[in-house]
Chains A and B, each alone.
Chain A
Amino acid sequence: MNSTDFTADLDGKKCVKCEKDAKFTGVDPKKAWYCQECFIQMVKNKFRSALSKKKIYKDADARETLVVYDGSPSGAFLLNQIDDALKQITYKRLMVQPTVLVLVSVTEETEIQRVVERVEELKKELLENVRWFIAHVACSMYTDSVDLEGLRCNGTEKIPEYTDLLSSCSVPTYRKELERILREKCLQNISKSLKISKCMVPDDADDLGRLALDQLCLGRGGSLSPLVTVTDKRSDFLLIRPICDLSKREISIYNYLCAIDKQYIQFHTHSNTQDRSVQALTDAFIRTLEDEKFYSTINTVLSTASKIHNTNGKDGSRCVLCHVEVADCSLCSTCSAIRDSCSGLLSRFL
C-alpha cells in the first residue's frame, strides 16, 4: 500500500478535526474518521467529559475513589487515564485520590498467583504512589467488613462458598445475573471496608449496551438509566462509569497506539457464547447486527436506555440484592426468581 493508493482508497477522506489524512474511524465508519493524533484526543476527551459533565469531583472532601482494574483492555485504559490525569500540572489535573482495586474472577490457585505477580510488575509502571489491593470477587460473600491486606489476593478463602452459591443456581440466565450482582456487592463491601464512597468501574459501551438489553429481558426495564449511565448512586456509595461512552474498538485501538496493550492480564476464561442464557443470546444478537454493519446499535440502545427512569421508587426504596428502585417490597421480582432458583443459599444476603 503506497501513499498514492492510500489517498485513492480513502476517497479523499480527511480527518474531521484537522486537514490530515484519516487513519481511524469512530464506532460507525460512515460517520466520523480521524488522523492518529485527533483519534487519541477524541478518546481522551470522551473519558474526561463523562466525569466533568456530572461534576463528580466538585466536593473537595470526597475525592477518594476506588479504581477497579480487572485485567481487561478497558481496565488498563481506565488505569492509564487516571495515571495520566494525575500527572498533569495544569487545570487538566483530575482532582481524584485513587486506590486501585485489582478484581480477580478466576478461581484456580495458579492463575491467581500469576495475577499477584503481574500486579507487582504493573505497580512499578503506573500509579506508583497510590495504594493497590487485590481482591477476589468472592469477597462478596462477606457480610461484615473485609480486612484487606496489600500483598495478597484477598477473599480467596471465600471462593468455595462463592462457587457453591453460583453452582446452586439452576437457571443459566439467573446464574450470570447473580454473578453480576455479586461483583457489585464485592465492590460495595470493599468500598465500605476502606471507607471510600466512590468506585470507578471499567464498564465500556459494549458491556453496558448488552447489559441494557439483558436487563430489559429480566424485567428491570424501568430502572435502566442508573444501570448504564455514568453515575449510579446507591445508599452508601457511588458507582462511576467514566468510559461508558467508549466502545471496545476505540479503547483497543487507543491502547495499541499508546502501547497500553502490554498492561493487560491474560486470564484463561471460557467463552460463554455456548451458554443457554439470555445474556449469551443478547451477545449473539448484537454480534450479528454488527457483522451486518449496523454499527450504531449499541449507541442507540444506550441513548434510549439513559432516558428510562423508574417512577415507582421515588421514596428511595431499593431491592436489597440488586439495588434497583422498587415500589413496595424489599426484593424485586427478578431477584425473587433468582433466590428461588438458588436452593436457599442466597438467603444469607436477604
Chain B
Amino acid sequence: MAVYKRTYAAYEGSLTPTWSRFLILPRYSFARLWQSKFLVMFFMACFFYPLGCVGYIYLANNLSVLSSFGIPVGNFIKVEPSLFLYFCWVQAAFTYLLTAFVGPSLVSPDLVNGAMPLYLCRPFSRAEYIAGKMSVLVFLLSLVTWVPGLILFAIQGSLAGWEWTKANYWIAGSLFVGLMVWIVMLSLLALALSAWIKWKIAAGGLVLGVFFAGAGFGTALNNVMRTQYGTLLNLTEVMFTVWSKLFRWPSDTGISVEASWICIGVVCAICLWLLIRRVRPFEVVK
C-alpha cells in the first residue's frame, strides 16, 4: 500500500520463521556499530598481529628467501604450537579492549530507555534476546580470534605439507575451543555488567576493571593466605592455564586445569544468572 493513503490496514502477509528472529538484533546492532570510525579503525588494528604471523609462517617455510638476502638462517625460525598460543594471547588482549568498547552499548541502552517491554511483548523470548545480543560479540570477536587463527593454521598446513597438518591437526581444535571459551566468557561478562551498570562508560570501565581487580585481589589473597587458589580470581591466568593445556605447553600459573575449567564455568553461570535477573519486561521494585 502506498504511503500517501495514510490509513490503517491490518497486515495479512507471510511471517518469518520463529527460530531466525534472534538474528534481527545483531543486524541492527552491527549497522549501528560500524558507524563508529574508532571501532572500524580498532577492528582493522586487530589484524596487524595475524598479518605479522602470516609473514612469519611464510618465512619459516621459505628460508631460502632469508638466505638470498644474506641473513644467516639458524634453527630459531620455525612454526611450533607456541606460535598459536602466543597468537591466542595477543588476540585475546585485542578482544578484551574490543569487548569493553562494544559490549556496554548492547544491553544498557535498552534498559535505560525501558525498551525491554517492547522486545518481550512480541513473540520473542528473553533467551532469544540474550542470544541475539551475545551473537553480536561472538561474531565480532570470532572475526579477530579463531577465524584468523584457523586461516594461519591452514596457511602453515599448506606450506608445510600434509605430514605436518596430520601431526598437528589438534592445534586447529585447540584454537577453536580455547578462543570460543574466551569469547563466551568475555561476552557474558560484558553483557551482565552492562545490564547492571546502565551507564555505558562505567560498564566499559568495569569490564576492564574486573580483570585488573581480580588479578590484584587474587595476588593479595595468595600472599596473605599462603595459597595458590587466589589465582582463580585472575581470569587472565585462568584462561592461560586452559590454553596451555590445550596447546600442550607447560603452565606455571600454579592452578590446575580442572580448577580453571570449573572457575570459567562458575563465572559464566554467574553472568548468565545476573543477565536473566535484569533482562525482564518490567523492573521489580521491592
A and B are interacting partners: no
The chain B residues found within 8 Å of chain A, CB to CB, are none
